Amino acid sequence: MHETSSGARNSRSLPTLAVIGAGRVGNTLALSAYRAGYTIKAIYTRSPERGQAIRTETDAAILPDVRSLARSADLILIAVPDDIIAEIDSTGAGYWQAGSGVVHHSGLHGTDVLQHAAKAGAFTGTMHPLQALTDAETAIRSLPGTYFGISGHPDLLPVLHDLVVALDGRPLIIPDADKALYHAAAVYASNYMVTCFAQAVDIFVDLGISSDQAVQALLPLTQGAITNLASPGLPYALTGPISRGDLGTIRAHQRHLAGQNQDALDLYNRLGRATVPISAAQNKLSDQTLEAMSDSFSSMTSDDANAHFCSQSSDFVRSQP
């Protein structure tokens, strides 16, 4: 990949950059790269007003289309939603520059969605920030220490490595064939954590607690779990009834969740089954206790939970004088 030192604001020879898309990812990467010494030559976005933040700070040109941007810089960053990447690549057919770099930031797709750029002789790659990005300034502050999944042409990987390091990030090479599983893991760690938190908030709301108060009450618990994941780490970050082997507590949860809806109970049981092996790795519980918990999560439906409750109630009544 050819690199030019023209416009670079330090002694290193850095590739010039151009950005397609000025959403959260585009803004974050463009502004972070600029502040790290890279020159941002141009921006293309379907809503030009969204590119103003980049233009104001970097003095980059806002260009009218993909084709005019395709040859404007050494490294083109395609920061658009996953479903549009191939369309952008196709739009630039006949204009991509041989020897330049063309990179997208999807966690799912590999370089195969950049086939027109590759056919033109560009070096194609991917560079996905393993981070939940919100507004640009908040995201910029969160980038240091963030891992970036990178893949692509061997001649481009060192360029991407240097860019990630310049952003105070950590490069992680993910082969294209592994991108889907890599991205699924990211969804588990980030998106589904939000889903589980929302489920907990909904239960609190059903108890008559306001949504705002529920969030404030539960957030320290979630933050504590994240802190424990950092240290002492897995498997010892796990606390709660599955870690302790409290089968009675688990069954009480199942019984009362059954009164909410089957979906809530199904999710609880699926997560419970996935949690038992983590508890087992702590080496605190007997095989019998672990097996009993697994059986409870595997077999308990809302009807089972209600039947179990009725059985317990009947036993209690019969035991009374």
**DSSP letter for each residue of 61-105:** EE-SSHHHHTTSSSEEEE-S-GGGHHHHHHHTTTTPPTTSEEEE-
SS3 41: strand
Structurally, how many domains does the chain consist of? 2
- Give the pLDDT score at 8: 37
Average pLDDT, the chain: 90
Residue 81 falls inside a structural domain = yes
Domain match, 108 and 170 both? yes
Residue 131 falls inside a structural domain = yes
First to last CA, the chain: 87
In the predicted structure, residue 321 carries a pLDDT above the cut 50: no
Domain match, 121 and 47 both? yes
pLDDT (mean) for 266-273: 97
Domain match, 269 and 145 both? no
The range of the structural domain enclosing residue 306 comes to 189-319
Domain match, 172 and 206 both? no
Domain match, 39 and 163 both? yes
- Give the pLDDT score at 304: 58
- Give the pLDDT score at 7: 39
Domain match, 25 and 61 both? yes
In 39-74, which positions are buried (b, 16+ CB within 10 angstroms) versus exposed (e)? bbbbbbbeeeebbebbbeebebbbbeebeebbebbb
pLDDT (mean) for 35-56: 90
pLDDT (mean) for 62-83: 96
Residue 303 falls inside a structural domain = yes
- Give the pLDDT score at 301: 60
In the predicted structure, residue 5 carries a pLDDT above the cut 80: no
Domain match, 168 and 290 both? no
- Give the pLDDT score at 52: 87
Q: Read off the pLDDT of residues 96-114 as tens digits, 9 standing for 90 and up.
A: 999 999 999 999 999 999 9
Residue 319's pLDDT band (cuts 50, 70, 90): very low
- Give the pLDDT score at 6: 36
- Give the pLDDT score at 303: 58
CATH of the domain at 137: 3.40.50.720
Domain match, 126 and 222 both? no
- Give the pLDDT score at 307: 52
Domain match, 132 and 271 both? no
Residue 178's pLDDT band (cuts 50, 70, 90): very high
